Amino acid sequence: MNKLKFSKDEGSAFYKELTERIDQYFSDRGIAKTGNRKMFFKIGLYFSLDILFYALMITSKSPAAFYFFYLLMGLSVLLTAFNISHDAAHGVAVKSRYWNKILFSISFNLQGNNAYVWGKNHNESHHLYTNIEGSDIDVLNNPLFRMTETQPLKWFHRFQHLYAPLLYLLYSINWFFFRETLMLFNISSRTIKIEIPRREVFKLILFKLLYIGYMIVLPIFLLPFGWSTVLLAFLLNHFMVSVIFVGVLGVSHLSDYVAHPVPDQNNVLKMSWPKLQLCTSVDYNAGSVFFNWTLGGFNAHALHHLLPNVSHVHYLDILPIFRELAEKHQLIYMEMTYKESLKSHFRFLKSMGRNQKLQTVSFAG
């Protein structure tokens, strides 16, 4: 991974005042930046729903009920990841560092994925070097998609905005079966390589086997519907999870509004880290109670990137401070409706598939 140096600009003063104002906000009210009673309610709610829907699925009396509860469980587990796993990964779901680690490990590993790999690279790569190829692990180097200007432009890329929705269905399947498996052998389609400690290699394999066990093997063994019904439910669940996941996160950084900054030959970026976060992230319906509750604040992505030490349950309260200071320091905060962010995402795919350089759109506010 290329480690970069940042430069000072108007974003530096903005970030200094932002952190001071946010610290003052929590100090004046005598509250912690971590989760509050609302978060404790969410933890109890989502984990209870995970268990309830699995119990109803594994005791289903008909194929229709089996599919229904299987998909509800998949949705519940995804919402658990959005609302609990993500905050816990940043150490802000609860005050205890130990319990944050436990919450993150349980909720992530039981999805068949490795918490260590995701957490380490999410925090040390994506959050630090957002949208910078060679430094951000989430910048894809995938032959089927052209996402950066350095990738060669192939004839089929001109259709990527059309076939993208079909390939998006495979996102979580690819993640579970291939992405982390390739990382074990230090092979990856990502732009940086991953080193995994032996202990985490063991856990990665163990939890994938456990996931296959309780999501496929156990239902086949306990229920009379046959293996084909169970496998279809497994695939449908991953299709659903993939579409929602990409629909929630893909529009934030893959957009014709955002920048893909390139450092100079000395690995120096001609902007500050705070400004990088603002010019590489799109927020949609940031002030929506519904989106904040269901998506765990992922819709306020720029806010989250700048303040990862604050739980999403506080976002609606501190958003006015964030907006005010961005305007004061003459920084562009890209906030729009979800519909516009989705349109921008597909414009980005279309532009990258037809032009050597990205045709960006200026954000008017």
Q: Is the pLDDT of residue 204 over 90?
A: no
- Going from N- to C-terminal start, the domains of the chain cover 10-30+117-354
Sorted by sequence, the CB contacts under 8 Å of residue 250 that are 6+ apart come out as 168, 345
CB atoms within 10 A of CB 141: 17
Tell me the whole-structure pTM to 2 decimals: 0.89
CA–CA dist 171, 238 (Å, integer): 8
CA–CA dist 73, 59 (Å, integer): 13
CA–CA dist 88, 14 (Å, integer): 27
**pLDDT tens figures, 311-332:** 999 999 999 999 999 999 999 9
CB atoms within 10 A of CB 115: 23
**pLDDT tens figures, 20-46:** 999 999 999 999 999 999 999 999 999
**pLDDT tens figures, 101-154:** 899 888 877 777 777 777 777 777 777 778 887 777 776 667 788 888 888 889
**pLDDT tens figures, 41-80:** 999 999 999 999 999 999 999 999 999 999 999 999 999 9
As a whole number of angstroms, the longest Cα–Cα distance in the chain is 65
CB atoms within 10 A of CB 234: 17
Q: Is the pLDDT of residue 358 over 60?
A: yes
**pLDDT tens figures, 226-268:** 999 999 999 999 999 999 999 998 899 888 888 888 888 888 8
Residues in the chain: 365
Contact 345, 250 (CB under 8 A): yes
**pLDDT tens figures, 279-309:** 899 999 999 999 999 999 999 999 999 999 9
The distance in angstroms from the start CA to the end CA of the chain is: 34
Amino acid at 268: V
CA–CA dist 128, 136 (Å, integer): 8
Place of tokens 């008017």: 364
Quick one: CA dihedral 259, 263, 264, 270, positive or negative? positive
CB atoms within 10 A of CB 137: 21
Write out the two tokens for 273. 């880290």
Sorted by sequence, the CB contacts under 8 Å of residue 59 that are 6+ apart come out as none
